[in-house]
Amino acid sequence: MVNSKNNSKEKSFNFFFPIAFILSIVPLIVRMTIVKVDDNVINIWGTATKTDLFSQKKALFLMIFSVILIAISIVFFKKIFSKKDKILNYILIACGVFSLFTLLSAIFSKYKEVSFLGIFDRAEGFIIIACYMILFIYSIYTFKTTNNYKYIITPLLILVFINAFLGLFQYIGQDLIKTSLGISIVVPNEYQSANSQVNLLNEKGTIYGTFFSYNYMGSFVSIVLPILFCYTIFEDDVMYKIMSFIGTLLSFWLLFGSSARSGIIGVLGSVIFGIIIFWKPLIKRWKGILIGISVLMILLVGANFASKGSLLKRIPSLATDAFSIFKDTSDFDYTEYTPVKNIKYSDSITEVVLPNDTLKITYKDGIPVFKNSKDEIVTYALKDKVYATNVEAFKNITFAFGKLDKKSVISDSLLLNINARPTFLFKLDDNKTFHLMDMSTKKYIDLKYPDTFGFKGKEKLGSSRGYIWSRTIPLIKNTLILGTGPDTFVFDFPQGDLIGKYYAYDTPNIVVDKPHNLYLQIAINYGVIALLGFLTMIIIYIVDSIKLYAFKEDYQERSQMLGSITCLGVVGYLFSGIFNDSVVSVAPVFWIVLGVGVALNFMNRESLRKKSIK
């Protein structure tokens, strides 16, 4: 490769620099916000306010920066928007289709507030989707020289270094965000107290950094690890080579320290794609690649040994899931593997159907009465405010009976515990029947048995992603043209499928708020036409990249090398998107990298066109 950096140095303001600033800042923002939610959210979670630590402030600053980018674009329109060719036009048209149908989905959504502003912990309403498109288009047009690539590499290294530092403490269970110093930084003064604590869902031994969840750390690493690793191999500048290699090592640490199997899939997908498409120039550098891989493997094995196997603890489950895909489970009935198979009503009788019997519950003389399937009395004795029985078939089931709220004049609520865990809540309705209630909202609900597609007997595949996907795919028939609205997945998922949830998650009391799949997320929230627009963008870009960079002996220009490694970062994210959805912590990184990839492809097409003219 001829180390010929683009000689066209910009003498005026570098319009791409704001992208570097956004890329460096937005993913790192962690600041608590109290979100006042609308009635639709209250009907799911039963509370008027929710705490958001990782998304709302990122979204706010992204909106502010996007407005600045729009202003710069308007003022310097002629200087910025000078690129034009057929392939770029096709990508922009596809982008327009994606954006238009996302907007229409928000406009016609039943959940307009969430559709435009987003939901807590996600903040990906249409306004933020529009910000992504601004980042994407602005990156395409302002990335004009290969010198600008340092404004991608440097921010990515900053993100990796900071998250690796935070990740070390998160991994050993000493999360800096939870310390008094961390709380003073991420929690506004008005919400701080002597006993201030930050409750996070991530467990000890997993790294989430500033990305909210270890899964999204996986999405981030699936972008940066392929880019930094290949940049280390191809870059000639010694300083950048060293820093990129360090970044590669730290990215590798983040990948396995997060235990995100989605990230591993993303990186593996990128590696396989790279080997197939770019094997010729890689072969020429086999020594450097072999050394790099060997160092990574040695460090990984050593770190796993030092951590007593915890670093690679989820790899076996990844292999198990892979093999389970091919098992025949067509006759599998998940209700045979749950402590409760069904809950139904007959006259004033509530029937809790169990694997080996049925517990019938009625209300008589101010107390609950229990019978078995033969209508024989099951004696429940009150002990320590809990009704329990010694009858073997129901021994694992206990009840708490009392008033649900202060407005109740009689004891009217029954909490069913299975193995001492609160599982189902009942309350007397107007017919004096114990009717099932939602644990969070305290509203009456009925069990649902929704339509499913695929994954029968494989509901627990991929940390129960099989369950979510099997219930999500049938919803697509309702979103062929327009989706339900950005960030509204939680409202249309069959939350009443309590028995299905019980099998998948070992509890029915969980809210499924995301599809764990980028493509299902777009299909349901934005609509199938928007998904086609997104896929068209991606396919045009990847096919163009293959035409420009695949099967070449070597890259004669620096822009070709940069274009190829940027493509690998995009591909890594797309593979991880099979298991993760879009989130404001990571999506800006993807759309910026994709925009740079499109810009590099344009530069290389122009170079080829000029050579053909000569």
Q: What is the pLDDT of residue 610?
A: 84
Q: What is the pLDDT of residue 545?
A: 95
pLDDT digits (tens, 9 = 90+) for 575-595: 999 999 999 999 999 999 999
Read off the pLDDT band of 542 (50, 70, 90): very high
Report angle CA 307, 308, 311 to the nearest 5 degrees.
Answer: 55
Cβ–Cβ < 8 Å for 340, 418: yes
Residue 401 has pLDDT above 50, yes or no: yes
Residue owning tokens 């959210």: 41
9 by Cβ neighbours in 10 Å (0-12 / 13-18 / 19+) ranks as exposed
Cβ–Cβ < 8 Å for 525, 488: yes
Q: Domain extents for the chain? A: 17-321+514-613, 334-437
Q: How many other CB atoms are there within 10 angstroms of residue 364's CB atom?
A: 9
Maximum C-alpha span of the chain: 98
The residue among 251, 261, 342 whose CA lies nearest residue 300 is: 251
Read off the pLDDT band of 273 (50, 70, 90): very high
Q: Please enumerate, as own/partner, the contacts of 342-345 that have beta carbons within 8 Å and a separation of 24 or more.
A: 342/447, 342/499, 343/424, 343/436, 343/447, 343/498, 344/447, 345/433, 345/435
Residue 174 has pLDDT above 50, yes or no: yes
List phi, psi (to 5°) of 223: -85, -50
Average pLDDT, integer, range 363-373: 93
Q: What is the pLDDT of residue 4?
A: 44
Task: Report the relative pairing of strands 367-371 and 33-36 from DSSP bridges.
Answer: unpaired
Residue 203 has pLDDT above 70, yes or no: no
Q: What is the pLDDT of residue 318?
A: 66
**β-bridge partners, 400:** 415
- Report d(CA 331, CA 560) in Å as an integer: 52
* Complete DSSP assignment for 456-504: TT-TTHHHHHHHHHHHHGGGGGG-SSS-S-TT-HHHHS-TT-HHHHHHH
Read off the pLDDT band of 1 (50, 70, 90): very low
Average pLDDT, integer, range 427-448: 93
